[in-house]
Amino acid sequence: MERLGSNVPGLISLFVIFLLAAGILAHETTYNVVDFGAKGDGYTDDTQAFVNAWSWICRNSTGPSALLIPAGKTFLLDRIVFQGPCNYAIHLKVDGNLKRINEIWKDKFNSWLLFIRISVLNIYGSGELDGQGTDWWSCKMKNKCPFEAAHNLELLSCTNVQIWGLKLINSPMMHIAVGQSENVYIGGITISTPSDSPNTDGIHIQKSQHVVVTDSVIGTGDDCVSMSDGAVDVSVSNVTCGPGHGISIGSLGIAGTVATASDIYVSNCTFSQTTNGGGSGFARNISFVNIKMNEVYYPIIIDQYYCPHKRCSYKTAAVQVSDVKYLDVAGSSTSKLAITLNCSQTVPCTGITMDNVNLWSADQGQQVQSNCINAKGSAGNKISPAVPCLTTY
């Protein structure tokens, strides 16, 4: 199997940028947010101090700079826009903890910490980002929120970004959102949110390309890593997911829109206790390799009739799904249907490949089954449960 040969140059350039940024760290000027008036006592609103620090460094620096958020302090912050473009690369060293002001915003603002139009940004450290999302989750489940909840951290129209080493907890909505961005590396992070928290995806990638997610532990109430329209050349590896809804490529073609997702490679990931129509476009060249399942609900599922809000009308149009590979997938299922391929009659799934797929029931003595509608492809050795619509080779 070709391992995303078309996007190797993009991934190589991303790692080169990461190494270059590490070299820059030794030659940059460091500023401390405390010197701009931040208290870090956990009670004082430090928002303006952070805005002032970022604005000064972004506009006035004469070379690469670092903004230090020192350890041993907790900084209480309202929503902040870290606006670019900036003169030079900026490294945000987050060793202290950041905590969102605990209130329901009355106007539409989709992010707590928004980084926009920045080139060469490094966000790293041992600190924690606490979105304090409990009240948001409560109002959302009661359908009383005035607007959608906010993401903990969002990249919008950014290039050459690394996020690594951080811990993110209790986001009102998605913990990290990547939109309209390019060359993004996310690694060594921990995300933790209760399993019943609504729509709290770990990492969401949309309209972005050349994105790497690696070496992380993610437990949420929704998707571990989610990809939607415009996600191109994405690699997810060595990620442990659970609880949550696993790794998904979805919400494509909602409300009749044209959506695309391609060149996605998922490898060496572990899923634990996870759960898991009417548009057009395509989702293609997607691989799941060396995946381990532990008490997963619906381990493998393709559903062109997915309806998250239970108010969808039946439509024959669907996003075209093709060239999807499941290789070396093993583990236990808590659902009777361990494999579901539910594809459109008018736009069937094609090029589905399975090899060395072994799924069994988490309930001793029970058997798992597969369900296959309008899907075409091939099955290699050791496919359990058998998938009858795939041709054995």
379's tokens: 């099955």
Q: Alpha-carbon distance 337 to 299, whole Å?
A: 9
Q: Alpha-carbon distance 62 to 88, whole Å?
A: 7
Catalytic-residue membership of 245: yes
Q: Alpha-carbon distance 252 to 261, whole Å?
A: 8
Residue carrying the six token digits 């620096």: 61
Encode 199-265 in three state secondary structure. CCCCEEEECCEEEEEEEEEEECCCCCEEECCCEEEEEEEEEEECCECCEEECCCCHHHCEEEEEEEE
**Neighbouring residues of 150: CB distance < 8 A, sequence distance ≥ 6:** 79, 100, 105, 109, 110, 111, 112, 131, 136, 171, 172, 173
Q: Alpha-carbon distance 136 to 140, whole Å?
A: 6
Q: Alpha-carbon distance 378 to 355, whole Å?
A: 9
248's tokens: 């998904």
Going by their DSSP bridges, the two strands 159-164 and 119-124 should be labelled as: parallel
Of residues 91, 204, 245, 309, which has the active-site annotation? 245
**Neighbouring residues of 8: CB distance < 8 A, sequence distance ≥ 6:** none
Catalytic residues: 245
